[in-house]
Amino acid sequence: MNKYKAVIGLEMHCELKSNSKVFSSGRNSYNEIPNDNISPVDMAFPGILPVVNKKCVHDALMMSMILNCKQPEYMYFDRKNYYYPDLPKGYQITQNTEPVGVDGEITIEVGEKLIPVKIHDIHLEEDAASLDHYYDTSCIDYNRAGVPLLELVTEPCLHSAEEAVAFLEHMRSIYKYCGISEADTKKGQIRCDVNVSIMDEDVTELGTKVEVKNINSFGNVFDAINYEIKRQSELKDQGRYDEVEQETRRFDEESGTTIRMRSKVDALDYKYFVDPNLPKYKITPEWLAEIKREIPALALERKQKYINEYNLSSYDASVIVKEKEYAEYFEELVNLGIDVKTASNWLTTQVLGEINRENISLAEFYLTPSLMKQIIDAQSRGTISSKQAKEIFYKAVEEKKEPKTYLNSDNAQLSDRDELTKLITEIINNNPEQVSQYKSGKTNLFDYFVGQVMKNTRGKANPVITKEILNDLLK
């Protein structure tokens, strides 16, 4: 099927986290009650004046820098004029002439390969209200009107559904690492438009692009792209490439296909102009420098460090950097002096297993890194076996008690060499017959002695030390 080269450009919209909306004091929060988070500005009442939310500009500039874009000298906004029931003002406040970032590039990982993705621009705008359609009625919920939105537009530089989804995952991770957005597709916080065309391998001119609008999950992005590549390739194979039109389609989840909505040939003229109600806002180099310093270490950077400096496997490193809180937990364990491999094993198996089972976040998990250290240290000192360490882990989680509570009780492993030597000497003295059989060649009796030691200590004797002492005393 890969006879043709696929060309893909993405437009990714992401709702930002903030207390108030981007141009009003309306609350920016998810609310089950429709029309509860609204201000006169969001409703476009006469005489309203928007005021730009500085936090949103700050976050937009941070993303612009992460994407290695150029930032403008002044921040200002344009009106994009069109009519739709979800747009009470009759225009959307967005950025057209000088977006918060242009001409960027970011490296992403696709499988094990690193590829650069060129960014056309990133701009700050407001979201529209949402429409709920019922049997014979439609209702408008203005809660979403004015919610801050960052729209990121890539160049047509991606070449497969895998690359496109890897890019979206990469961006989602950055939004979350920076705390700029929850970036939760299930809450509709991320929506994507995908542009797809195909071309012969050996030509330079791009093919006719088809836009699939408003896709709300990465799985659907993947399916929509592959469907479009297949559809366009089949038409081209049949000599009907002229039927691939510059048009807007939508993805139909049920059938896994895309469906034509409208032609894009006579594109809408939005009559953009600078919003006169929002004064130009100078972006000082000092402010930019300050924001730059606040950018945290991101997933890919940490992953590379874990692989190169800590010698973790690529798989383990990926699991750890999947969420910022996992990476921070891991780094805290390492900073507490715990061996990296041990820290990685505990985190990726027991800790993540537990929080997934309980369906909680790591922040809600009882065993903080310093409590985990109590267990890990006891195990590395040989005070407890790995099996006991796990038992203590689950007990501590369940009873919400510090692991050290269990370390001093009868749970602890018997590792005291003198004590064990005394006990083993006694056992040897009490079994003269087995000793002489062992010494005359019945070496499998060794396990009999180990069994006796375990029986006497109710399984608590440290097996490694026990075997060492037995070896010595039975020589």
Among ligand ADP, Mg ion, none, residue 10 binds (CB under 5-8 Å by kind)? ligand ADP
- CB nearer to ligand ADP: pick between 272 and 446: 272
* Beta carbons of 108 and 114 less than 8 angstroms apart: yes
Q: Does 336 bind ligand ADP (CB under 6 A)?
A: no
Among ligand ADP, Mg ion, none, residue 235 binds (CB under 5-8 Å by kind)? none
**At a CB cut-off of 8 Å and minimum separation 6, what does 97 contact?**
76, 78, 272, 274
Q: Does 154 bind ligand ADP (CB under 6 A)?
A: yes
CB of 377 to Mg ion, least distance (A): 54
Whole-number Å distance between alpha carbons of 126 and 146: 5
One-letter amino acid for residue 197 of the chain: S
- CB nearer to ligand ADP: pick between 203 and 289: 203
Contact window for ligand ADP (CB under 6 A) among 151-159, 172-180, 235-243, 311-319: 151-159
**Bridge partner residues of 14 (DSSP):** 150, 190
Query: Residues in the site for Mg ion, rule: CB under 5 A?
Result: 151
* Beta carbons of 320 and 344 less than 8 angstroms apart: yes
Q: Give how many residues touch ligand ADP by CB under 6 A.
A: 15
- CB nearer to Mg ion: pick between 192 and 423: 192
Candidates 20, 94, 197, 379: give the one binding ligand ADP (CB under 6 A): 197
Whole-number Å distance between alpha carbons of 127 and 143: 10
CA-based torsion, 22, 24, 26, 32: positive or negative: negative
Candidates 53, 92, 195, 348: give the one binding ligand ADP (CB under 6 A): 195
How buried is residue 369: exposed, middle or buried, by Cβ count under 10 Å (0-12/13-18/19+)?
buried
Q: Does 156 bind ligand ADP (CB under 6 A)?
A: yes
Whole-number Å distance between alpha carbons of 101 and 103: 7
CB of 145 to Mg ion, least distance (A): 15
Whole-number Å distance between alpha carbons of 473 and 412: 25
Among ligand ADP, Mg ion, none, residue 434 binds (CB under 5-8 Å by kind)? none
* Beta carbons of 375 and 350 less than 8 angstroms apart: no
- CB nearer to ligand ADP: pick between 132 and 243: 243
CA-based torsion, 175, 180, 181, 182: positive or negative: positive
Among ligand ADP, Mg ion, none, residue 245 binds (CB under 5-8 Å by kind)? none
CB of 88 to ligand ADP, least distance (A): 24
Paired tokens of 163 = 């690359």
Q: Does 9 bind ligand ADP (CB under 6 A)?
A: yes
**At a CB cut-off of 8 Å and minimum separation 6, what does 3 contact?**
233, 237
In the bound complex, which residue of the shown chain has the CB atom lying closest to ligand ADP? 9
CB of 265 to ligand ADP, least distance (A): 10
Candidates 11, 105, 391, 402: give the one binding ligand ADP (CB under 6 A): 11
Q: Does 247 bind ligand ADP (CB under 6 A)?
A: no
Contact window for ligand ADP (CB under 6 A) among 23-31, 191-199, 347-355, 443-451: 191-199
CB of 306 to ligand ADP, least distance (A): 33
Whole-number Å distance between alpha carbons of 304 and 224: 32
Pattern of binders to ligand ADP over 206-245, x per CB under 6 A? xx-x------------------------------------
* Beta carbons of 208 and 249 less than 8 angstroms apart: no
Paired tokens of 143 = 């809660």
Torsion (CA) 400, 404, 407, 410 in degrees, nearest 10: -60
- Which CA distances in Å does 440 have to 312, 425, 435, 436? 48, 19, 9, 6
Candidates 4, 7, 106, 127: give the one binding ligand ADP (CB under 6 A): 7
Paired tokens of 315 = 């798989």
Among ligand ADP, Mg ion, none, residue 197 binds (CB under 5-8 Å by kind)? ligand ADP
Candidates 153, 274, 297, 334: give the one binding ligand ADP (CB under 6 A): 153
Paired tokens of 189 = 């916080």
Among Mg ion, ligand ADP, none, residue 151 binds (CB under 5-8 Å by kind)? Mg ion
- Specify the length of the chain in residues: 475
Contact window for ligand ADP (CB under 6 A) among 9-17, 139-147, 271-279, 322-330: 9-17
Residues lying near ligand ADP in the complex (CB under 6 A) are found at 7-11, 153-156, 195-197, 206-207, 209
